[in-house]
Structure 1
C-alpha cells in the first residue's frame, strides 16, 4: 500500500507540471527520444541528460541522452534524423548550415530547428597553479593544450583564437574529464575549455589540486571579439573557489535543437515544459539560469521549429513566419 501511495503521489506531481498533456492526441508523438550531448565531464552532458530525464518524466515518453562529439556532430545527427534532438552552439550551427562542417564538407544541414535558448558558452583557460601560467601571455611556446573532443566548439574555435593571440602550441583532443586528468598528471600544460559554467571537470580539479583559471586582458578580449562570432562574458568569482575576482572571457550562445520534421505538438510540449519551469532546469544545472524565454532573441542562425515558435508566440515573444521552418 505504501508503494502504491508513493507511485500515486509521483504521478500526481507529474500531472501538476505537465498540465493537460495526457489528455492530448499523441498519435504523432515519438515512442522515445534521445538527446545528443557531448563528452562526460562537460556541461552539455550534465545539462542534456538532466533535461532529457525531466522531459521523459513529465511528458510520459521514454527518453535519455547520448554522448557525442558535441555541437558540430549534434548538428549532423539531428539533420539526418539519426537523433531527433540535440544541443548546439550558434557558431558551429552556422558553419553546418552553410555546408562548412568538417564532418561533412559541402552538406548544408538545413533540417535542424531551434527549440529554446540554453546558456552562453564561455571560452576559458585552466592551468595548474604550480605551472606559473597566470595569463595567456605566460603560455610557453610549444605548450600542450587540450581543446576538448575533436569537432567540439572548443576544438573548432579555441585553436584559432590562440593563433590570433600569438600562442604557439601542440594540439591535444579528448573528453573534458580525460583532459582534466591529463592536466593534473602533468601530461598537458593547459586546458582550453568551452562549456557552460561551472564546468564539472574544473570543479573536480579544484577539489584535487590548485588551479589557475585564466581570463583575457582588455586588448586580448578586443582582438578576439573583433575576429570571431563571440561577445564579452564575465565569469563571476563565486563560480569557482580558485577565482578571487571576476574573470573576463568571451562566449557564444547555445540552443537546444530538433529535427524539423519532429511532431509539432511534441516539441510544443517540450518547449512549454522547459520554459515554464526554470527552477527545475536550474536544479539540473546552474547554467540554466539563462534558459529563459527572453533569450530567444539570441538566435540569429537557426530557423525555429513550428512547435517551439508556437509556444513563444503564444507567450508574447514574437517570432516572424519567415523565421519558422
Structure 2
C-alpha cells in the first residue's frame, strides 16, 4: 500500500523511498521494507490545554514516538469535532474523538462541514468514557442542576468540542436557561474563579486537570445529575449512565451520578497498514505505560473494542485485534 498522506506544510512528513523486496529475505529485512512507507513524523490532534485530551494525546504521542524511533507529538485543537475534520483531510495523522461527533461526521452532519461525509477516518482503539460533569464555586450556592439560575453564564469548553456540541442541548433538555461561553478548560477555570462565569459544564476524561487545579485553589461544588435528570438525558442523547468515583476529586465525598460518552483514537485511513498495526500493538500491549500517561487509560484495553459501532476500523488495527482473538464484524473494517 502506498502512503497517500497529506500533512500541513509546517510539518510535512517526508516518506522514505520504498525498497524492493527480494525473495528469500529474512524477516528483519521485510520489516525494514515495511517501514519504508511510514511517515517520518506524526501529529495527534488533542483539544485545549487543561483538558484530559491534551494530557492523554500528548503523552500517547510521545510514547509511540519513543517506541518507534520517529518524531511525534500532540497538537492543541478544538477537540473531537475538529480532530475528525483534520484527520479526514489528512492535515494530521491521528486524533481523539467521541462517538457522538464521529457519528455526525460520518453522516455528513458535522457542524464544521455540513454535508461533507468524513469517510477518511478510521478507528484505532478505545480510550475511556467521557463523563459530563458540572462544576461551580461553593459560594455560588449552586448545588444541583435545578439551582442554576436563569441567564447563568456557562462555559462549555472550546467551540465545536464534544462538550460544546452536546452539553448545551442536554441542559436545555433539562430546562436550564443560560448564556453560552466558550474557551479552553484552563481559561474557563480562571474565569470561574474570578467570577466572570457562573458554571463550567465539562465533558472530559476524569480527573479533569482544570477541576483538580480549581479545588486546590478554592472551594468548588461538583454537581451530579438526579436519577430523573440522568434518565431523561439518556433517553434524548447518545450517552449512557456513569458514576464519577468519590476518590476522583478531593471535593467529592460520595460517587457522583453523571452520564458519559465513549472516546476512541482515530487515524487517517491512508496511513500504511503496518504502521497502524505497530501503533495499535504498542498501545494495547503496554497499558501500564498508558496509565502513566493518564489514569483514565485503565479502560484503554482491547476488551472495550466493542464500544465502537460507528467508525470503521483501520485494517492495521483490525489485524492486531483479530490476531489476538478479538472479533470485529467485517462491515466495521475499512
For Structure 1 versus Structure 2, the TM-score category normalised by the shorter chain is over 0.9
TM-score by length of 1: 0.93
2:99 maps to which of 73, 77, 90? 90
Q: Which runs of 5+ in 2 are unaligned?
A: 1-27
Match of 2:325 among 312, 316, 320: 316
TM-score (norm 2): 0.90
Contact 1:21 1:59 in 2 (8 A): no
Aligned equivalent of 2:218: 209
Query: 1:49 — aligned with what?
Result: 58
- Paired position in structure 2 for 1:187: 196
- SS of corresponding position for 2:35: coil
* Segments of 4+ moved more than 4 angstroms: 19-24
* 1:9-158 alignment, distance < 5 Å: 25-158=34-167
Distance 1:20 1:122, change over 3 A: farther
Q: How many residues align?
A: 307
The DSSP-based 3-state class of the residue aligned with 1:30 is: coil
Q: What's the offset of the Cα at 1:24?
A: 6.3
| 2:143 and 2:221 in contact (8 A); partners too | yes
> What secondary structure, in the 3-state scheme, does the structure 2 residue paired with 1:137 have?
helix
SS at match of 2:189: helix
Per the alignment, do residues 20 and 73 of structure 1 end up closer, same or farther by CA in structure 2, a change over 3 Å counting?
farther
- For 1:139-186, what per-residue CA distance to the aligned partner results, in whole angstroms no more than 9, with x for missing partners? 000000000000000000000000000000000000000000000000
Displacement after TM superposition at 1:220 (Å): 0.3
Distance 2:289 2:93 in 1: 23
Does the alignment pair 1:291 with 2:303?
no
How many angstroms apart in 1 are the aligned matches of 2:271 and 2:322? 19
Mapping 1:249-288, distance limit 5 Å: 249-288=258-297
Tell me if the contact between 2:267 and 2:314 (Cα under 8 Å) persists in the aligned partners: yes
CA shift, 1:323, in A, is 1.3
Q: 1:291/1:241 Cα in 2 relative to 1: closer, same or farther (>3 Å)?
A: same
- Cα deviation digits, residues 92-127 of structure 1 (max 9, x gap): 000011111111110000110000000000000000
Query: Retained in 2: the 8 A contact 1:128–1:211?
Result: yes
Going from structure 1 to structure 2, the CA distance change for 1:20 and 1:115 (only over 3 Å counts) comes to farther
**What is the aligned partner in structure 2 of residue 169 from structure 1?**
178
Relative to structure 1, the CA distance from residue 170 to residue 299 in structure 2 (aligned partners, 3 Å threshold; closer, same or farther) is same
Alpha-carbon distance between aligned partners in 1 of 2:43 and 2:286, rounded to the nearest angstrom: 21
Backbone CA RMSD of aligned residues: 1.3
- Structure 1 residues 53-103: Cα deviation after superposition (integer angstroms, max 9, x where no partner): 000000111101110000000000000101111000010000011111111
